[in-house]
Amino acid sequence: MRASWSDYFLEMSLLVATRSTCPRRQVGAVLVRDQRVIATGYNGAPHGQPHCTEVGCLMENGHCVRTIHAELNALLQCARYGIATQGVDLYCTDMPCRYCARALVQAGVERIFYLRPYESPETEQLTAERGLQLIQLDRPARP
């Protein structure tokens, strides 16, 4: 059975998440334009800095702040290599937090597909106000 595009890219986000270096939450993100992957990202420390898996999580208010979130890492990859993000779709293992949602709005992302919910009323409000589609998907069925 051939996978749908949504299942295909969501599965990719799950694979990308396996590169995460924060044991608290493994998140993967895939930016897509015209059914083609333009960038991926996972949550991990900035380049050259120690990872949570090496030195532990850096906790503030119940959140690890050592890592850059997967969605932001994917956007930063586009910035680094000069890839436009206007009109792209995001496939992500988790619903973005409010900070990532702001960055996604600013970058021109049109649709956000995600698997796992994340308690963020700010994300839901911002995406609704800006006309971004926030779409929760079911885990793809594997043959």
CATH of the domain at 76: 3.40.140.10
pLDDT digits (tens, 9 = 90+) for 1-60: 889 999 999 999 999 999 999 999 999 999 999 999 999 999 999 999 999 999 999 999
Question: Is 73 among the domain residues?
Answer: yes
Domain range enclosing 98: 5-136
Question: Is 125 among the domain residues?
Answer: yes
Note the pLDDT of residue 139. Answer: 83
Residue numbers belonging to the annotated binding site for Zn(2+): 69, 97, 100
Question: Is 24 among the domain residues?
Answer: yes
Q: Is residue 14 within 8 Å of residue 142, measured between CB atoms?
A: no
Say how many domains are in the chain: 1
Asked whether the predicted pLDDT for residue 72 surpasses 90, the reply is yes
Question: Is 97 among the domain residues?
Answer: yes
Question: Is 86 among the domain residues?
Answer: yes
Note the pLDDT of residue 142. Answer: 65
| Phi and psi, residue 37, nearest 5° | -75, 130
119 is catalytic: no
- Catalytic residue, from 71, 122, 124, 129: name it: 71
Predicted TM-score (pTM) of the model is 0.93
Question: Is 106 among the domain residues?
Answer: yes
